[in-house]
Amino acid sequence: MNGESKQQLIMYLLFCIILPLISQVLGNSNCDNASNERNHYVIETLADNFVAPYQLAFDANTNTLFFSYTVEKAKRYFKIVYMDVNTKEKGEVTGIPDGFAQTVDTRNHIVYMGGRNGIYQFDYKTKSANSLNITKESIWQMFFKDYLYYTTIYPDEVAYVYKNGVVSKVQQLENIKTLLIAVDNNNNIYYSNSSGLFVLDNANVTENIGEYNINGFTSDVKGNLYFSTTSEIYSIVTKNTVKKIADLNDDVHGVAIDADGNYIYSTYESVKRLKVEATNCS
């Protein structure tokens, strides 16, 4: 090897191996400041070819995901799918006309479902839904936190709570249109309507959190709240502040959280799982 090519080799090593190493080591000292830009997403498709999967709910007791989707035949109607996210085994829930909404009471192992004719309970053995005969209303969304909260479809958009065997309107929201509802560990009630996202606290004070175009609320196993907009996922950090978790650059229809804290979200025709992993910070 002559002197010139030796020099070239050294330059090559410097640029291709040593400099990246140095910047990686420097980069690692920035890990305290890890932000979304420093995280990367690992996205796995769980289900495909379902039109507009919506109202996702995850049962951590059985690792089962529930979502509804739209069937466009002579008439448009809705169906609910159950899916074991470990085995990927899935199927349609029977016994519920226009099945649309679902939520899980994790402590008591009850999966609630809502459809055109009221509220049902899912039976894992038969994969069917049995009416609870507590309402005949058409259900839009449901959320379980100590009690079963639910909303009815447009144009009514009324918030109800099913508590100790009795259904009643959520009194504080009696004259307010409510599309989606959720409750946090401090019993603050979050709701969204065409005017935005609001929180109603225990002193009955309402605050506007922002004009988010929300399509789903969910909670993790600890009861922390999250919501999705048409392309992003947020967490609710304190009573009235939110933090963006992920900008998916995709057409998001809803979100749920699996037992390991990963985000499961739907797009126009699929359901995906998002793992957020820190880069250079291991």
Ligand X SMILES: *[C@@H]1O[C@H](CO)[C@@H](O)[C@H](O)[C@H]1NC(C)=O
One residue of 194, 222, 249, 282 binding ligand X per CB under 6 A: 194
Q: Where are the alpha helices (DSSP H) in the chain?
A: 3-13, 19-28
Q: Which stretch binds ligand X (CB under 6 A): 52-60, 81-89, 190-198, 236-244?
A: 190-198
Check if the beta carbon of residue 270 is closer than 8 Å to that of residue 47. yes
The Cα–Cα gap between 63 and 150 comes to: 23
Interface with ligand X in residues 110-169 (CB under 6 A):
130-133
Distance of CA 191 to the CA centre of its chain: 15
Is 249 an interacting residue with respect to ligand X (CB under 6 A)? no
| Residue 265 parent element (H or E) | strand 263-266
Is 2 an interacting residue with respect to ligand X (CB under 6 A)? no
Check if the beta carbon of residue 81 is closer than 8 Å to that of residue 92. yes
Extract the tokens encoding 247.
């900008």
Q: 132 vs 259, which CB is nearer to ligand X?
A: 132
Is 171 an interacting residue with respect to ligand X (CB under 6 A)? yes
| Neighbour count for residue 54 (Cβ, 10 Å) | 19
Is 30 an interacting residue with respect to ligand X (CB under 6 A)? yes
Least CB distance to ligand X at residue 54 (A):
21
Count of residues binding ligand X (CB under 6 A)?
19
One residue of 204, 222, 249, 282 binding ligand X per CB under 6 A: 204
Residues that bind ligand X (CB under 6 A): 29-30, 32-33, 130-133, 171-172, 176-177, 193-195, 198, 203-204, 206
